Chain A
Amino acid sequence: MQAFFQTIQKIVESSGFVLLFQNLGYLAMILVACGLLYLAIVKKFEPLLLLPIAFGMLMANLPGSGIIHMEFFVDTPTGYPLWEKILQEGGLGDLLYLGVKLGIYPPLIFLGIGTMTDFGPLISNPKSLLLGAAAQLGIFFTYVGAILLRFQPNEAAAIGIIGGADGPTAIFVTGQLAPGLLGSIAVAAYSYMALVPVIQPPIMRLLTTKEERKIQMRQLRTVSKTEKIVFPILCTIVISLILPQSAVLVGMLMLGNLMKESGVVERITKTAGNELMNIITIFLGFSVGCTTSADTFLTWRTLGIILLGLVAFSVGTAGGVLLGKLMCWLTHGQVNPLIGAAGVSAVPMAARVAQKVGQEENPQNFLLMHAMGPNVAGVIGSAVAAGILINLFK
């Protein structure tokens, strides 16, 4: 009988419940995970990524689950992942996390995004690339803010990239520069991307006049199929030669787009844009969620990252709108400054916001296609900014 009770006692002592109450941080993280699940399921905030991230967070914070061993990846004695330990003792989370650590998932997501992107509005109005560049101001402004909050330069760079409003790029940069902050930065980036319709309109209204918001833009010129095929090739060559660190992100984006525009590989285009992208989204979301342990997430630094993420989005939006105003002035009112706000990536949400705010003032105004130019330019711009930051801080 005594042996029976001893066995029961042993099982109880090793159960998650005991460990849960030994470290209340786990309990707090479970509550945070449930909160994120609520936002993803009920409020539909970027559910495709927030749901697997939140569930990964939940599993990583169930004591004893051992879903991931971040000590094999971060702060190791050699500075490199402990490959032997990963292969001998690692599990599902460890192996999936390799895709983040080695920078495999974000470019594959970009491949899928490329198959769904139409660069036509950008090619027909190349000036919109400047708006995409101006909206990257949020990245570098936030870098300074993070330095002031005493983050290390590489961490500050990873936090700044939230301003690119591009989840895969943020994960790509953070995985290379500050893997310890991956969970916090991913959660902040995707939460703010879902909140673009809430964050952007007040800034857009504040920086523009009613007359500017009413401006109707001229119809875009028609872009030939050949131009659409040449563009991804041209873009890959130019960006990769100037900034090799961006080659993998930009290259995969453009490969996906070339597959779509050429029309000769319909089967693999569908696979890249649907099945492959869905599989990678699950792997990416879940493994990023697994990196959010109570020890690394429940800190003042996470609060700082969330605050800086908001600053990054706001300044990026303001940068785009202000350059839009300048272009409006230079062209004597031919450019509606609202389309500048779409320069933060967040495709196509930011372009839809520009359309909505424009139509509030003038129901006859259709800015969506004009805003898609800066919007896709923002994707290229944030990939370029990512390459610059990796070049400077890796």
Chain B
Amino acid sequence: MIVAAKVAPSPAVVVCTGMGLVFAILIVISLLITAQGKLFDWLQAKQNPPKAELPKPPQPQPAEEDSVSPEILAAITAAAYAMVGECKICSVQPVKKTILSKSSWAKAGMEEATTPFGLK
């Protein structure tokens, strides 16, 4: 059996083929990654359709210092609703009971338990 000896290609062929193939393969992968990215973006967009823009709630106006207190404002609003006769409960908001003062022993205990070690 005669085995043909493998003839080495010329340097120019090696350089052109080698660089050409490296670029070609990496360009193919680059295109596939781009396509994959676009596909996943599309799938994600399909799963989570963009929500229709809701009308923005009116921004609460900052209360001026010498204006009516919230209690008086609530009473006036209730009276106005009673006059118009369209009174209905829109929402019920829970009110947290705030502790106005703690004993000095309780404060010292809380500080002891919550201050980081490095700051003690």
Contacts and interface: CB of A to CB of B under 8 A. Distances in A.
Interface of A: 122-124, 126-127, 129-130, 132-134, 136-137, 139-141, 143-144, 147, 153-154, 157, 221, 223-224, 226-227, 230-231, 234-235, 238-239, 242-243, 377, 380-381, 384-385, 388-389, 392-393
14 contacts: A123-B33, A123-B36, A124-B37, A129-B26, A129-B27, A136-B19, A144-B15, A153-B14, A234-B32, A242-B25, A388-B18, A392-B8, A392-B14, A392-B17
Contacts of A144: 11, 14-15
A130 B25 CA distance: 10
A231 B33 contact: yes
Given A133-B26, A144-B15, A389-B18, A123 B37 contact: yes
Contact of B36 (A130, A231, A377, A381): A231
Interface of B: 6, 8-9, 11, 14-15, 17-19, 21-23, 25-34, 36-37, 40, 44
A393 B8 contact: yes
A183 B81 CA distance: 94
A226 B9 CA distance: 43
Contact of B29 (A223, A380, A389): A380
Contacts of B44: 224
Contacts of A133: 19, 22-23, 26-27
B15 A130 contact: no
B29 to A, nearest CB: 6
A127 B29 contact: no
Given A136-B19, A140-B14, A388-B17, 4 more contacts: A133-B23, A143-B11, A221-B37, A384-B25
A37 B37 CA distance: 47
A227 B36 contact: yes
Contacts of B32: 234, 238
Q: Which 3 pairs between the two chains have the least Cβ-Cβ distance?
A: A153-B8, A126-B33, A126-B30
Contacts of A384: 21-22, 25-26
Given A140-B14, A140-B15, A230 B26 contact: no
Contacts of A242: 25, 28
A120 B14 CA distance: 32
Contacts of B40: 224, 226-227
User: Which of A231, A389, A392 has the most CB atoms of chain B within a 10 A radius of its CB?
Assistant: A392
Given A133-B26, A235-B29, A126 B34 contact: yes
User: Which of B11, B21, B29, B34 has the most CB atoms of chain A within a 10 A radius of its CB?
Assistant: B29
Given A147-B11, A227-B40, A242-B25, A127 B30 contact: yes
A257 to B, nearest CB: 14
Given A129-B30, A147-B11, A239 B25 contact: yes
A78 to B, nearest CB: 14
Nearest to B43: A226
A223 B37 CA distance: 8
Nearest to A382: B22
B89 to A, nearest CB: 44
Contacts of B19: 133, 136-137, 140
Nearest to A243: B25
A314 to B, nearest CB: 17
A130 B18 contact: no
Contacts of A140: 14-15, 18-19
Nearest to B32: A234
User: Which of A381, A388, A389 has the most CB atoms of chain B within a 10 A radius of its CB?
Assistant: A388
Contact of A139 (B6, B8, B18, B34): B18
A129 B21 CA distance: 13
B38 to A, nearest CB: 11
B6 to A, nearest CB: 8
Nearest to A135: B22
A190 B15 CA distance: 24
